[in-house]
DNA sequence: CAAATTTAATCAAACGATTGATTAAACTAC
DNA sequence: GTAGTTTAATCAATCGTTTGATTAAATTTG
């Protein structure tokens, strides 16, 4: 029964992640989540203690999937700073687009000042990625690959912000780009490679600027 | 009495804007808003029909303040495309930072798929700014000021996204920049000029790229 | 001008619906 | 049988909204 229990918990987490992503924390009622998951409402509290506990459980499951993703790139000493940054961008675009609903959820809830505990958890998740990017860019500045006056902090805001903008406001982005950014075909075959090319070129031209 | 009525409506809108910005649409109850505004709860419905109507009223008041801000720049024919873009960035950073709470609210709610009518309204607001930026950049590409292959759509995502990232996730941005981005002093005397310099340099180096 | 009437503004109270949470009983498996 | 699950029923609290009554100002009427 232990195995089934884990399965059921995981199933609830799957559904909760989806519903939370679509409707936000407040908009996703426990009744709806339990209904979608075909479990009794009381099961949510039985397994996760509370709605907030369920929300955090959704997050903690994701962290473990994310954490190791970028870290091993930075340890490869055969790569130049620029190569590393390129690899980071590739991985980042791929991963993030594949989890866009969840990313949206993260960005939405972290911008609210309620639910202090939730907020802290999310900030921690986001920081792990931020710091990985920062490390490789700072290294590039230090070894002279990138120009000395480069504003690393704002560069990172650009990398994450550009992506977030498309993910978080797809209606606006769709109107702007003339195509539906939620269309899986367009996203995969056109937007993803286009984003990679653009972000590399953008960063390269900036970071290569003469002093 | 007509004057007082307008004053009171405006006062409600002021309070509603603040409470919505802090707590989000769902988090801001009509009871709290009316309490903060020191008016009877029923007045909200009397004046604005519904909570949704109140929310939209808050927005529409903002549109009228924003709309004309950028438009006259583009009509000045003595300015080069690059000059215009620089002016846009200056105005944009100034304006947006001054309304960061409201901007946060906008970005949070537009990323939700509930409240269809609200969503449409917000999208329309955001598009007016987006299109102004797009116009001046497209003009620059057409007259040869910017390089032909420039990805205008993603450039705009960068401009708005970089700003949004700092505004929407201040906890993360603060940790990244090593200073509190919500500190009014740092924001005004350091971050704002820094953002302007950075974004101009970033865009200039990208848009000036050789074919 | 003054009385009569209409309109707009405001209020306390209550509405039905929904929220997250809890309970005690029923069921399941070893 | 007993420990672990699952269920339906129910809880108090809060939500956005509506109501009917009251007040004051504006308008109409004689």
CATH (domain of A105): 1.10.357.10
Summary mean pLDDT of chain B: 88
CA of A2 to C1' of D3 (A): 13
Q: What is the 3-state secondary structure (H, E, C) of B131-170?
A: HHHHHHHHHHHHCCCCCCCCCHHHHHHHHHHHHHHHHHCH
What is the distance of C-alpha B137 from the center of its chain? 19
Q: How high is the pLDDT of residue B103?
A: 87
Average pLDDT over residues A106-126: 80
Q: Identify whether B163 is part of a domain.
A: yes
Closest C1' nucleotide to B47's CA: C9
Contact A123 B171 (CB under 8 A): yes
Q: Is the CB of A31 under 7 A from strand C?
A: yes
Contact A108 B108 (CB under 8 A): yes
* Structure-block tokens of residue A79: 């790569």
Average pLDDT over residues A5-18: 87
**A143 vs B8, B89, B98, B108, CA distance in Å?**
61, 32, 38, 39
Alpha helix (H) residue ranges in chain B: 2-27, 30-36, 41-48, 51-74, 81-98, 100-110, 116-142, 152-168, 170-177, 184-186, 192-207
Neighbour tally for A164: CB within 10 Å: 27
Neighbour tally for A28: CB within 10 Å: 23
Measured between alpha carbons, how far is A9 from B91 in angstroms, rounded to an integer? 50
Measured between alpha carbons, how far is B85 from B79 in angstroms, rounded to an integer? 10
Q: Is A193 on the interface with B (CB under 8 A)?
A: no
CA distance B2 to chain A (A): 37
Q: How high is the pLDDT of residue A68?
A: 67
Quick one: which of B134, B142, B159 has its CA closest to B74? B134
Closest C1' nucleotide to B41's CA: C11
Model-wide pTM > 0.85? yes
Interface of A with B in 116-175 (CB under 8 A): 119, 123, 126-127, 130, 134, 151, 153-154, 156-158, 160-166, 168-169, 171-173, 175
Residues of A in contact with B148 (CB under 8 A): none
> Nearest CB to A151: which of B171, B173, B198?
B198
Q: Which residue has the higher pLDDT, A108 or A6?
A: A108
Q: Identify whether B156 is part of a domain.
A: yes
Interface of A with B in 71-100 (CB under 8 A): none
**B29 vs A124, B44, B46, B90, CA distance in Å?**
30, 11, 16, 36
Our count of domains for chain B comes to 1
Measured between alpha carbons, how far is B37 from B4 in angstroms, rounded to an integer? 15
pLDDT reading at A3 higher than 70: no
pLDDT reading at A192 higher than 60: yes
Q: Identify whether A21 is part of a domain.
A: no
b/e B176-206 (16+ beta carbons within 10 angstroms → b): bbebebeeeebbeeebbebbbebbebbbbbb
Residues of B in contact with A161 (CB under 8 A): 158, 160-166
Helix, strand, or coil (residue B192):
helix
Quick one: which of A113, A121, A128, A122 has its CA closest to B27? A113
Measured between alpha carbons, how far is A28 from A38 in angstroms, rounded to an integer? 15
pLDDT reading at A199 higher than 90: yes
Contact A206 B209 (CB under 8 A): no
Residues 7-46, chain B, CB closer than 7 Å to nucleic strand C: 8, 39-43, 46
Q: How high is the pLDDT of residue A64?
A: 73
pLDDT reading at A71 higher than 90: no
Q: Identify whether B168 is part of a domain.
A: yes
Q: Identify whether A11 is part of a domain.
A: no
From the CA atom positions of chain B, what is the Rg in Å?
19
Neighbour tally for B93: CB within 10 Å: 21
Q: Identify whether B105 is part of a domain.
A: yes
Measured between alpha carbons, how far is A54 from A17 in angstroms, rounded to an integer? 9
Contact B112 A27 (CB under 8 A): yes
Measured between alpha carbons, how far is A207 from A143 in angstroms, rounded to an integer? 13
Q: How high is the pLDDT of residue B64?
A: 76
Residue-number span of the structural domain to which A146 is assigned: 59-208
Q: Identify whether A24 is part of a domain.
A: no
Closest C1' nucleotide to A4's CA: D5
Confidence class for position A5, pLDDT limits 50, 70, 90:
low
pLDDT reading at A2 higher than 50: no
Q: Identify whether A118 is part of a domain.
A: yes
Average pLDDT over residues A174-203: 94
Q: What is the 3-state secondary structure (H, E, C) of chain A?
A: CHHHHHHHHHHHHHHHHHHHHHHHHHHCCHHHHHHHCCCCHHHHHHHHCCHHHHHHHHHHHHHHHHCCCCCCHHHCCCCCHHHHHHHHHHHHHHHHHHCHHHHHHHHHHHCCCCCHHHHHHHHHHHHHHHHHHHHHHHHHHHCCCCCCCCCHHHHHHHHHHHHHHHHHCHHHHHHHHCCCCCCHHHHHHHHHHHHHHHHHHHHHHHHCCCC
Measured between alpha carbons, how far is A151 from B144 in angstroms, rounded to an integer? 28
Residues of chain B with pLDDT under 50: 1-5, 211
Return the number of CB contacts < 8 Å for A and B: 153
Q: Is the CB of B173 under 7 A from strand C?
A: no
Contact A169 B126 (CB under 8 A): yes
């Amino acid at each position: 029964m232990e195995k089934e229990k884990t399965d059921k918990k995981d199933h609830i987490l799957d559904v909760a992640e989806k519903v939370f992503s679509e409707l936000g924390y407040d908009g996703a009622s426990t009744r709806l989540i339990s209904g979608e998951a075909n479990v009794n409402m009381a099961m949510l509290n039985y397994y996760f203690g509370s709605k907030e506990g369920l929300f955090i459980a959704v997050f903690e499951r994701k962290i473990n999937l994310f954490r190791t993703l970028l870290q091993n790139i930075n340890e490869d000493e055969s790569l130049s700073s620029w190569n590393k940054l390129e690899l980071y961008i590739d991985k980042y675009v791929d991963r993030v687009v594949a989890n866009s609903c969840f990313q949206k959820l993260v960005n939405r809830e972290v911008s609210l000042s309620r639910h202090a505990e939730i907020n802290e958890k999310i900030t921690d998740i986001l920081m792990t990625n931020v710091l990985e990017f920062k490390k490789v860019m700072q290294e590039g500045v230090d070894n002279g690959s990138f120009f000395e006056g480069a504003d690393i902090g704002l560069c990172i805001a650009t990398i994450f912000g550009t992506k977030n903008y498309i993910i978080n406001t797809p209606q606006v982005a769709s109107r702007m780009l003339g195509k539906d950014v939620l269309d899986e075909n367009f996203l995969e075959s056109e937007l993803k490679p286009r984003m990679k090319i653009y972000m590399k070129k953008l960063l390269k031209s900036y970071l290569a600027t003469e002093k």
